[in-house]
Structure 1
Amino acid sequence: MTDLVHLDVADQIATITLDSQHNRNALSAQLVTELTARLEDAAADPDVLAVVLAAAGPVFCSGADLSEAAGGGMVEGARGLVALQRLIATLPKPVVVRLHGPVRAGGLGLVGAADVVVAADTVTFAFTEVRLALAPAVISLTTVPRMNARAASRTFLTGETFDADAAVAYGLVTEAVAPDALDGAVETVLTGLRQAYPQGLRETKALLNADLVDRIDRLGETVAEQSAVLFSSDEARAAMLAFLERKKRG
């Protein structure tokens, strides 16, 4: 089985790369399992001060793997995404997202859970769940606390696409820069983190994310069950199958 997530460590930084390009880095069961393992590896490595989450291919993450979702039985998948967001939020090392390409639906949960998000200003975003008879239930755990309420209402309810500048204004992204400046902007963040002590980073992150983690712990099982019910509904399954058929036709 080909690995879908890679881990490289250099200069105190663990770079974790999503590499499931055949489905635009969708959150398949295999990808979520491997990403969880790579994050745990980085957390346990005493040489790692911080983590960069990146992706290969033109798309950062397309959201849930609809080919899996259309088959039903999504409750464990939903719980896995809850646990993954919690792991990112509680990792004892800062997680910086290098966002080079589009991110949709479930992929925004990774963005919301991270500590710093640097995006190319060409990146687009969308909470597309409503257009598939779903709701952004599981990822609301981490995105709602980051975004202002009016922005969340508009983007969640319309499913519309918005750009990186809007994502910064909404509170979802830390900074948007030109694509050719992306690596430099990420490195500037990492240079700042390298000036800190591990204990300082760990304890400061815990302070910053205390409310977020409490929200995950209080609501995680509820939204996982809600998500599973929605994914298995006749309306959503018909919508997903129609989407997959349109995608197949190009």
Structure 2
Amino acid sequence: MSLDAIDAVDWSAIPNPTQRSYDDPERVARALRLLAVSTTANETGDAAALLAGGGFVCGHAGMVFPAAHAATPALLDLVEHGRRPRVKDAALGLLSEALDSFPPAGYTRVDTPYGAGVPLCCAIARLIRGRRGALLAHGRYGKHVLGEADLHWRLTVEETELQPGDGPTGIAALAVLEGTAFRTPVEAELHTPPSGHPAPTVRIDALTADASGAAWVHLTDTPPDPAPGSALYPAECGRLKH
């Protein structure tokens, strides 16, 4: 449940980029609890406004904060199990706003159980994709938020093979695609476990993927033979900052 997800987070360990009281991650936790237990339209609106006014996102500035990643599981719980439709809608709106906003400089990445230094938007998007069923069940608005998350794709390398040729040496890789297939060529960050920042930038020259997410990619400008388990994220996402 959402309250358990909130209580499981060490909010004091999350940085506050502005050091302002209304951007304090602990304030985010309090607002999430208020949203979870809200029973009237005013209570729901007030809690959502607290989250949209700082700490989670700053709506008028289009800024998303590191605490948004920690708050996303609780909001997804509310989308799935919220007491009232307006609570579910408020949670979806906040998730959409987080994906549409830019992080402050110096706070653009988060550490996750599957890798360090992941672009903040991509980490939030992966949590959202993990609750695909709940979002699809919420109708058109849920599908819209899921579609936004799918733009922040992730490729997990499974096998690689050197591809010598007349041009630059490339690498063919079998991979698993999460999110929406994209046009190539495109730059990507290569995160190799145990990964950290900075991650090298590589070029994806070709991509073929089926509906299951099984993908074939051709890479250039890569380190020799990226290890199985390495992940590719959009380089554009790693450059976003407010």
| TM-score bracket, shorter-length normalisation | 0.3 to 0.5
Higher helix share: 1
Higher strand share: 2
User: Which structure would you say has the larger RCO, counting Cα contacts within 8 Å and 6 or more residues apart?
Assistant: 1
